[in-house]
Amino acid sequence: MTELFMLIAAKYNYWLYIILMMIGLYAMIAKNNLMKKLVGMNIFQTAIILFYVSIGFKHNATIPIIMGDHGHGGHGAAIHAADYINPVPHVLMLTAIVVSVATFGVAMALCVRVYQRYHTLEEDELRMRLSEK
């Protein structure tokens, strides 16, 4: 039992992201209101972003901006990779955040279109309206 707790404690970032992601996924599938589904979609994507960012973390390291005068001439002391956290996940997530914002914008525009046409965002009502015709 203690071992299990140790295991979870060492990897708690993964557990947290999985829980968050499942909340988002559940909302996307089960919720009836389209806006709530969109919120679920955002939670879902944010969970993945958190996962990536947690990959980049290293104990006893600082943000990936090289301090000192390396940038201007490069005469300073050598750079130790262990002192700076991994920049790659941050770069990837900057892209993924922008993509998720763009998707959210398009989805909002679609919601507005649906609302203009049917004056509701509840899925069951929409389904009823569609089957009427």
Partner 1 sequence: MKLLSLIVVCLTGGLLLYGTADLPDWGDPNAPASLHLSNYYIENAVRDTQVPNLVTAVLADYRSVDTMFETAVVFCAGLACFLLLRDFTPKKDHYYRHVPTGVILHVKNPDRQVIVGNEFEDIDKEWLPPDTIIKTVCRMLIPFIQIYALYVVAHGDFSPGGGFQGGVIFGSSLILLAISYNLKYLLKRVSEKFLGILSAAGVLVYMGIGVVAMVLGGNFLDYEKYAPIFGEHHIRALGMLGVEIGVGMAVTAVMVIIYINIVSEGKHDEGL
Partner 2 sequence: MIHYPAVVVIASLLGAFIAGILAWVQERYTYPAALIATGISCAAAVWDLIYVAGHGPIAYHMAGWAPPMGIEYRIDTLNAMVLVLITAIAFLNLAASWPNVKQEMPDRSPSFYVMYLLFVVGLTGVASTGDLFNLYVLIEITSLSSYTMIALGDRDRGPISALNYVFVGVIGASFYLLGVGYIYIKTGTLNMAEFAAMIPNIQDSTTILTAFILCIVGVFIKMALFPLHVWLPNAYSYAPVGFARIVAPLMTKVMVYVMVRLMITVFGLDYIFIKLHIADTIVWLGTIAILAGGVMALAQTNLKKMLAYIIVCEIGYMVGGAWLGNDSGITGAVLHILNDGIMTFALFLAVGNMVYKLDRVEIKDLKGLFAGMPWTMTGFVLAAFSIVGVPPTCGFFSKWYLILGAFEAGAWHFAAALLISSLICAVLFFKVFEVCFFESPDTHDGPGSDAHGHHTTVAIQEAPAISLAVLGIAGISLIVVGLYSKTIVVRLIWPLLNP
Question: Which tokens go with 128?
Answer: 């009823």
Q: Which residues contact 7 (CB under 8 A, 6 or more apart)?
A: none
Question: What is the crossing angle of helices 123-132 and 88-118, to 10°?
Answer: 50
- If contact means CB under 5 to 8 A according to the sort of partner, which of partner 1, partner 2, none does residue 128 touch? none
CA-closest candidate to residue 51, choices 102, 81, 82, 96: 96
String marking each residue 25-64 x if it binds partner 2 according to CB under 8 A:
x--x-----x--x---x--xx--x--xx--x---------
Q: How far is CA 107 from the centre of its chain?
A: 17
Number of shown-chain residues binding partner 2 (CB under 8 A) = 29
* Chain residues that interact with partner 1, rule: CB under 8 A: 10-15, 18-19, 21-22, 25-26, 29-30, 54-61, 63-67, 70-72, 74, 79, 81-82, 84-92, 94-95, 98-99, 101-103, 105-106, 108-110, 112-113, 116
